[in-house]
Each structure stands twice: as structure tokens, then as C-alpha cells.
Amino acid sequence: MPAAAPPPDPYALFARAQSVWRSQRYPQYVGYTIAVTVDERGVEKVNHYRATYDAIHDRIYVDGVSEEERETPHVPTGMNMTLEPKRNWMSLFKRHVGNPEEAVDYLGVPMLAPNYSFGIAPYVPEEATTAQERDALIAAIRNQYNDPMSASKAQQLGASDGLEEIGRVTSRDRDYEIAFEGVEHVDGGDAYHLSLQPKRSPNRFRLRDLWIDVGSGATRKLVTAGNFGDGTVPWEITFGSIGGAQYIVREDALAPVGVGRHLYERAAITFENLAPAQPSRYMWPEISPDKDVLAEPQSR
């Protein structure tokens, strides 16, 4: 009876996923709609925001007024009151009373790119126009992610488990300890499941689970320990392919999300109607300073 094949190297699988992200090419402008859905006290609420992504300069343009707010302008409701009894000028307790005012932007205005990789590999924008500039930028990324192998050299080598070795993650200064958890069925196809534990800075290195397509090496799904500026609520992210490029399909919170005095039992963000777009004569105006903004960390 032949011996069972050894499991694939999880670091080689992760490096393959990084290489696939680095190889992505997008239309100069991508138009899309960001739908933000929440459940608050059993009531589902949805806002839709029009957006354009400039892939050449890695810039996001979002209309800060949702389609719902534009159709029905916000009218303040509810009461924001605080009960704070005192004795001898000392506060006995402080408690908010009454229902909070209805939120206009449930999680904030979503300044979100549809191609964010959640730290798997930074996006290399086309504004690095010359080959020398792009090579320097890619070299810096390889150094950051401990992947010293050039693409030409990697393609000459084959991994022992039959996977093409696109890159190597060295043991020096690894960001994660990565384990192979098996092959699982994800959205109609087989995917390698990796679990990741950060070796340092867990609030920066947030990846916890990753599913990589067995055939293409594309990222199918991941779980991140926190999303946006919050590091307490885990989120599950699902990806898809449109025109041969990877995009986010949806992001689902795996626990209730608190925003100010609001507690949402469920929160989800979906990227809809993604398609190449033509730049308009003007992009949307600056978002009003009285609105909160929902954004990913600066490092992409």
C-alpha cells in the first residue's frame, strides 16, 4: 500500500495566494455600489452608497450621501439624554436614558475598495509606471512579506506536493504561524484551509483563517480578527472573480457590532454591480465632516 502523500506546505500555499494578489490587474476605473445592512432590535436596515475605484492611483471615491438618505433626507428623532445624579458635587453614576437618535450612516460612510486583500499582499497600483519603479516596489513588498524569490526563478521550481512554487516565505521574521487544516468545499469548489496565528502585533496582523482555491490559488474566503478600526469583532470575507480579477463579494460580522449607542445584532457589507466605469466630469464632493467614515487601515 503506497504511503499517504504528505500535506502541502502551508507557507508555500500562503505565498501562492500572495503572488495571485500581486498579479491582479483591474480596469482603470471600477464602478460599484456598497450596501451596508444591519439588524437593530430585530429591524433590518439597509443603506446603499455609489462608489468608484481608481485602480491607477489606488483611490476610492464614495458618495457620502446614501441613496436612501438622498431619497428621504434625515429628520432628527429620538432623544440623547444622560442621567448623572450628584452628591456633594460627586457623580453617583452616569447613565444614558431614552432611545438613541436614528443613525444616518449605520457603520459610517464606507470608504472601501473592492480589491482589498486584508493584508495578504499590498496592492501594487499602476501609478508606478516604469519597470524600474514597479520592480523596486515589488522588491520592497517581497522584503516586507519575507518572500525573496523572484517570479522568474519561482516558476522554474516545482514543489514536492505538485504545487508550482511561486514564492517562499522564509522562517526569518515571519508574521504568522500557519497550519494546514485540510481541503474543504467552498462555494462550489475545493479550497485549502489554512489557520494563522500572528507572531507579533495581533491588532495589525489580523488574518485567522484563509481558504485558497486548489486550482487557481485565488483567495476564496477568510476570517479576520477585527475589521476597519475595530479589533474586537471577527468578520468573514467572501471573494469572487469578475473579468478574471479578484474582488470582495461580501463581509459579514460574526458577532454583534456596537457603534456609539447603537448595537447591531447583525452587520454585513456587500459589493454590488461591479463593472468597468468611465470617470465622471467630477467626483463626489468631500464627505461632510459631521459624518463618520468607515475605512480599512492605510496599509493595503
Q: What percent of the chain has pLDDT over 70?
A: 69
Q: What is the average pLDDT value for the chain, to the nearest integer?
A: 81
**248 has a pLDDT exceeding 50:** yes
Higher pLDDT, 157 or 82: 82
Q: How far apart are CA 191 and CA 193, in angstroms?
A: 6
Where would I find the beta strands (DSSP E) of 187-292? Answer: 189-198, 207-213, 219-227, 230-242, 245-253, 257-259, 262-264, 266-276
pLDDT of residue 73: 80
- pLDDT (tens digit per residue) in 146-174: 554 444 444 443 343 444 333 344 445 68
Average pLDDT over residues 35-54: 96
Q: What pairs with residue 238 in β-bridges?
A: 221, 250
Q: Could you tell me how many residues make up the chain?
A: 300
Q: Residue 22 and residue 27: Cα distance in Å, rounded?
A: 15
- Can you tell me the distance from the alpha carbon of 123 to that of 23, in angstroms, rounded to the nearest whole number? 9
Q: Would you state the pLDDT for residue 130?
A: 52
Average pLDDT over residues 72-78: 66
The pLDDT of residue 155 = 44
The confidence score (pLDDT) of residue 11 equals 96
Confidence of residue 284 (pLDDT cuts 50, 70, 90): confident
Q: What element of type H or E holds 13?
A: helix 10-22
Q: Does residue 211 register a pLDDT over 90?
A: yes
297 confidence band (pLDDT: 50, 70, 90): confident
Give residues with Cβ within 8 angstroms of 70, minimum separation 6.
none
Which pLDDT belongs to residue 286? Answer: 73
Kindly report the backbone phi and psi dihedral angles of residue 212, in degrees, each rounded to the nearest multiple of 5, phi listed first.
-115, 130
Confidence band, pLDDT 50/70/90 cuts, at residue 94: low
In angstroms, what is the C-alpha Rg of the chain? Answer: 22
Model confidence at 51, pLDDT cuts 50, 70, 90, reads: very high
Does the pLDDT value for residue 75 go beyond 90? no
| Pick from 6-10, 51-55, 102-106, 188-192: least confident | 102-106
Average pLDDT, stretch 64-89?
A: 71
